[in-house]
Every structure is written in structure tokens, then in C-alpha cells.
A and B are shown apart, each in its own frame.
Chain A
Amino acid sequence: MKRRVPEGFWWVLPALVVLVSLSIYPLIYSVKLSLSNPGNFSRLFSDRLFAAAGVQTIVLTAAALTVEFLLGLALAVLIDSLARGRAFFRTGLLVPMLLPPVVAAVAWRLIYNPQFGMLNGMLRQIGFNTEWLTWTSGQNSALASVILVDVWEWTPFLFLLLSAGLQAIPPEPLEAARIDGAGAWRIFRDVTLPLLKPTILLALLLRAMDLVRIFDQIFILTQGGPGTATETVSLYIYRTAFRFSNFGYAAAMSFVLLAATMLFSRGLMRVMRSR
């Protein structure tokens, strides 16, 4: 008996072909590549540059995520409490996020220039000695400079999500707390924050995953330097694959990065759910 093709199969087929050819096949191929040389995974443990890049990625992710979250939450609460002009501030705050990261990074590269940049120029005008304020070129200031750019560009994203979360909170629990005599801080801590938890979790997860993969800003601002002060795992993977043509080792590092991101996400979800 001839087997009948399920109804709708032909309609799903194009999407299936795209999915297999653009996602599943490359994934299987990269697994094959990473295992092509048995030394790829063991090399990770002795690779100084990979270790340095890993530490830099963790520091950058933790610092940027903390600052962006606190700023985004503060802005969301502040603008949510405004009686008028909320739409205006919301639109204005989103501008940095709408810029392509490459454009933002090029603009900041010019702003950070120690001698000709706008930042040191303004500081000089108000009497600061900027002679040693080297921003992206300084061994100790480079990572902070990169974090500052990320905070400037992506705080609006957290603000947007948290702002939407605040608006979704029903007014009744807040009113009940007010009637019970709770102050503003108490209401925020005991009512608003717990109700905002699912949104906070989503916002932190999305942003953290994005931060772990950070590439464009660093590539343009510092190229990982000075030395390895701002080298992240993504940048190192890019160099290994496309500059050194070592696709196997790059694939192995990518899988380690993927595993680390998944573990981090799982951990974050547990922590948030347990509280």
C-alpha cells in the first residue's frame, strides 16, 4: 500500500530545508570540526590566551550586567512614576540602542581619543589634567571604557523590558499596600520587585547571553588590547577561525562558550526562582 504524505508536509518543507541547511547541518559540521583534532579540547586547558579571554569575558559580563540592570531599573521606576512626558523620555532613551553597534563603537573610538577626543576635550575645558587619561589605551582603563560604551548602548534595552514589566503590574496590590500604610521603599521592595521578578529574569538572561558574545564594540574600540586587557572569548574565537584558519579549535572553544552560557543561564534561573 502506498504511504500517504501527511497533509501540510509540502508547506512545511521549505522551512524545514532552511532550518536543516542553515542551523542543523552547520551545528553537526562544527561538532565534527571540533573533534577533527583530538587535541582541540585538551589545548583549552593550557591555552593562556583562552584563559585570559575567559576571565575578561566574566568580568565584563558581570560588571556591565550589574550596572545596566541597576540603571535600567532606576530609569524604569523613575519614568513610570512621571505623571506626564513618559512617551517622550521612553523614545529618547531608546536612541543609543537603535544605533548599529559598529556605528556606536566608531563614534566612541573618536570620543575616547586621548588628545583629539571630545571626552578629554570637555574635561580639559573644565580644568582637569587629562594628560594620563588614556581610556581605551590604558592597561587599567580599557575594560572599563568598553563597559561604559556597552552600558550607554544597552541600558535602554533593560529599561524597555523593565518598564513594560512595571506597566503590567496590576494596581490593586500596590493600592492595598498603600492603604496598609507601607512607604514607597517598602512597596517597591515587597510588592513591585517580587511581581517584577519574571521580567527581571528574562531581561538579565537575554542581556547576559548577549554580553558573553560581545564582539563588535571591542573589535573596533580596542581589538582586545592593550595586550589582552579587553580580549574576550568571542574575539579570540574569531581570530582563531578567520585569522589563523584553525576552525577546529575555534569550534571547540565555541562549544565551551555555549556550555558555559547554558550553565550560567540555568544557574541564574534557579537563583531567581528560589527567591
Chain B
Amino acid sequence: MRLLFSTLCLCLAACNRTPERSLTIAVNAGVEGTALKTAAKEWGSAHGVHIEVIELPYANLFEKEQLDLTSHTGAYDVLMLDDPWFPRMVQGGSLAQLPRQPDADFVTTCTDVCRNPYRTGAYYALPYVGNSQLFFYRRDLFAKYRFPAPNTWQEVLSAAQKIGAGEKMYGYVMRAAPGNAVVADFMPLLWAFGGDVLDASGKPVCDSPAAIEALRFMLELGKYSPPGYAGFNADEVSAHLLQSTAVMSINWPAWIAAMDDPSKSKVVGKIDFIPMPSGRAPGVGELGTWLLAVPTASKHSADAFDFIYWATEAAQMKQAALRGNPPTRRRVFEDINLIAKFRAFPAQLASLESARPRPRTPLWNEIENTFGIYLSKANAGAMDPAAAMRTAAAEIGKILERAQ
């Protein structure tokens, strides 16, 4: 028995041995994470730090990171997080404040979401991937039908009707699967019509006349979308553009490369990327910046901060851009060599400069889920737009009430 006990102790001691300097980094499984993973390996070998990268699919990344933050286990030293998660993750002092402010070269909309409170507070993260929605449209077909690039949503609708009918293709394609998908495609419309989900005091206003009108307009666009769009995610939307069966859509920069890749696309060089069309209000895309942060419970916070500052330097961000990540620094967006390689960079910068984040509330996941359910119901024809928005506002009100 004594022998068994001694062996067990030895095994545990051996398992517990870790190198003196190490960093565990949680990253998103996708192009954004791949670039960070490569950078981390380079930094680790240059600084003699053992790097362990935990790559998780988007759906699991939030839950793993949030569990680590709430239980203060310090399992991760660096977190890669989507900006809508930030208000929840920063709660209760779970993220460590940055030792110094980000420099002025970062696009302001990207650094604003790294502050708690939003825009005005201290910095708790650095922006790594500068994502904001763009409007994708078929430049060749717009030229054929003598339409200028769409500046307003009304022009989008007219072009969808005429080009769709003329070319026997879908004039527009959007994603309306419940949750994040439908909300992401609706927000630019909602903002352009002068509506919002929450007002400045945090009360639900998604049942305002402007918001209902925006949803009615979305359903109007739905008439020119492929049947079944109420179940579409980004994959289906992009497949329609790539297969040349749809004329326009809202999309994320991650899909730009595929549009110009002859092995995937039938529309190489035919699609143009522009900032969001306007309505009553100027057009703005939704911000979807990936941030890097250090949990307070990290046991290697000094190395972790060194790494995130290094990874977001202009030189490193240029490398990440070459690996497919949209940057968050103006200098990298304006790099002539990069513009020659990535033709959408000027449009991406313009969109990023004006992009709006999702409402800065720790309850956004739950609000987005509820809002998405009723938007999806309206798009599937199961609810009238006004009833859908009124029910969504009432349900969001309950979520906010419960949290108080």
C-alpha cells in the first residue's frame, strides 16, 4: 500500500511540473485564430516561453473562456474574444486592466470596445482583428443595368427587383437563422431606419415605428432572397454569391478572399465591397472586432501582456493581414503593398471607422437570442412584423428586469 501511495505521489508531482515560463492561449478556430497561433509560436520561440494554444470553435470559445473567468482558475493566460462578449467578461474584475493605453494608430471604434465603461473607461483589451460588415454587390451586373453602386437601401431594393428579374437570379440574399445570424443582418437596416434595440438608458426600443418599418423592409428584401433564407447562415449566403445565384448581400470581410479565389468562386473580380447603404440615418455596419485580453487570474500576466502588445504592433499586424486577418491599425490598412494585394482594404477601413458595436450590455447574448427568435419568426412568415417587434421588446424588457 505504501508503495502504491508513493508511486501515486511521484506521478502527481511529475504531472504538476511545468516549464518556468509558459503561456496558454485560447483562440477561435478559424482564420483569425490561425494567424494568432502562428504569431504566438514565433513569439514563444524568440522569448523562450512555452506556448500552448487551445483552439476552440466559435460556439465553444465563449463558454470555455467565461467558465474560466467566473471560476478564476487561470487556465488561460491570453483570451481571444469577440467584442460583444467583452461587457460580460470584464464584469467583476475578471479581466486585467492594460498597463498602458493603446496608441493612436488603432481605429477608434476598435479601441472603444476595449474600454469599460464603453468609450470612456479604462482599457482591458487590445483589438486584434478589425471586422466590420461590408456590402457585397455584383459590380458587373450593376454596370450592365446602369445602376450606380447602391448608396441607399431603397436603391438596393430597386436593383434587387430589376437585376434579379433580368438575370433570373436572386436579387438579394440574407441570413435569417435565429440568433446571431438574423440579428447581424438586421442591425444595419435597423440603424439606417433610425431604430435601435436599446435606447441610451438601456430600455428596449425595438418596437418603435422605425424598427417595425426596418423589419417590414427586411421582409420586402426577403421577397428577392432565395426561398428558405429564414434558415440561412453565413455559409449559405456566401454560397449564393460564390455560385453567382444572388446579386447582393451583407457579409463579413472573412469572405472577401473566397470571392476572388477561382477554385471556389464563379464571380472572381465581379464583386465589389462597399460600406453599408444609408436610409434615414447614415449607413453603418456592425462591428465584430476580435480582442486580446489577459484574465486577472492568469499566473503569467507579465508575459501575457508582453505578448498581446507585441501581437498588435503594426509589423505583426501586417503579418496577420497577410495571413488573412483584417487589421485594426490605420497604418496597416493604408500600406500600399497590402492594398495592392487586398483591394477591399479602403472600403474595409471606411466601414470600420464608422461601424457600430452591438449594444454594450453584459446581457447581450440573451437579448440577441430573444431578438433573433422574433426576427426569425417574422422572416419565416410565422409572425407579423409589428407583433414580432412588440413581443421581442416585451421579452427583452423581462430579461433586463430579471437582471436588476
Residues of chain A having any CB pair with chain B under 8 Å: 10, 39, 43, 48-49, 113-116, 131-139, 142, 222-229, 231, 239, 242-246
Q: How far is the CA of A228 from the CA of B62 in the complex (A)?
A: 23
Q: Are A135 and B228 in contact (CB under 8 A)?
A: yes
The segment out of B144-152, B194-202, B317-325, B368-376 that lies at the interface is: B368-376
Q: Are B63 and A229 in contact (CB under 8 A)?
A: no
20 contacts between A and B (CB under 8 A): A49-B373, A115-B228, A115-B245, A116-B239, A116-B243, A133-B227, A137-B227, A137-B232, A139-B377, A222-B177, A225-B179, A225-B230, A225-B380, A226-B231, A226-B377, A229-B380, A243-B366, A243-B369, A244-B369, A245-B70
Q: Are A229 and B382 in contact (CB under 8 A)?
A: yes
Residue numbers in B under 8 Å from A113 (CB-CB): 236, 239
**What total of A-B pairs shows CB separation below 8 Å?**
102
Q: Are A142 and B178 in contact (CB under 8 A)?
A: no
Give the interface SS of chain B, mostly helix, strand, loop or mixed.
helix
> How many B residues are at the interface, by size bracket?
35 or more
Instruction: Name the residue on B nearest A246 (C-beta).
Output: B366
List of 7 A-B pairs having minimum Cβ-Cβ separation, nearest first:
A137-B231, A134-B228, A227-B377, A137-B228, A226-B380, A225-B178, A114-B228
Instruction: Name the residue on B nearest A120 (C-beta).
Output: B228
Shortest C-beta distance, A110 to chain B (Å), equals 10
Q: Are A226 and B178 in contact (CB under 8 A)?
A: yes
Give the interface SS of chain A, mostly helix, strand, loop or mixed.
loop
Instruction: Name the residue on B nearest A10 (C-beta).
Output: B1
Q: Are B376 and A226 in contact (CB under 8 A)?
A: yes
Q: Are A244 and B366 in contact (CB under 8 A)?
A: yes
Count chain B CB atoms within 10 A of each CB in A113, A135, A245 and give the residue with the most: A245
User: Knowing that A239-B369, A243-B62 are A-B contacts, what are 15 other residue pairs whose CB atoms are under 8 Å apart, sorted by A's residue number?
Assistant: A114-B227, A115-B245, A132-B227, A134-B228, A137-B232, A224-B179, A227-B380, A227-B382, A228-B377, A242-B62, A243-B365, A243-B366, A244-B365, A244-B369, A246-B366
Instruction: Name the residue on B nearest A247 (C-beta).
Output: B70
Q: Are B230 and A223 in contact (CB under 8 A)?
A: no
Q: How far is the CA of A226 from the CA of B175 in the complex (A)?
A: 11
Q: How far is the CA of A244 from the CA of B1 in the complex (A)?
A: 47
Count chain A CB atoms within 10 A of each CB in B70, B88, B380 and give the residue with the most: B380
Q: How far is the CA of A43 from the CA of B403 in the complex (A)?
A: 13
Shortest C-beta distance, B275 to chain A (Å), equals 28
Residue numbers in B under 8 Å from A137 (CB-CB): 227-232, 380
Q: How far is the CA of A120 from the CA of B179 in the complex (A)?
A: 26
Q: How far is the CA of A242 from the CA of B366 in the complex (A)?
A: 11
Shortest C-beta distance, B359 to chain A (Å), equals 15
Q: Are A223 and B178 in contact (CB under 8 A)?
A: yes
Contact digits for B375-401, partner A, Cβ 8 Å, 1 yes 0 no: 011011111000000000001000000
Q: Are B369 and A139 in contact (CB under 8 A)?
A: no
Q: How far is the CA of A244 from the CA of B88 in the complex (A)?
A: 10
Partner of A115, one of B240, B365, B374, B380: B240
Count chain B CB atoms within 10 A of each CB in A43, A139, A222 and give the residue with the most: A139
Q: Are B376 and A227 in contact (CB under 8 A)?
A: yes
Partner of B178, one of A133, A224, A245: A224
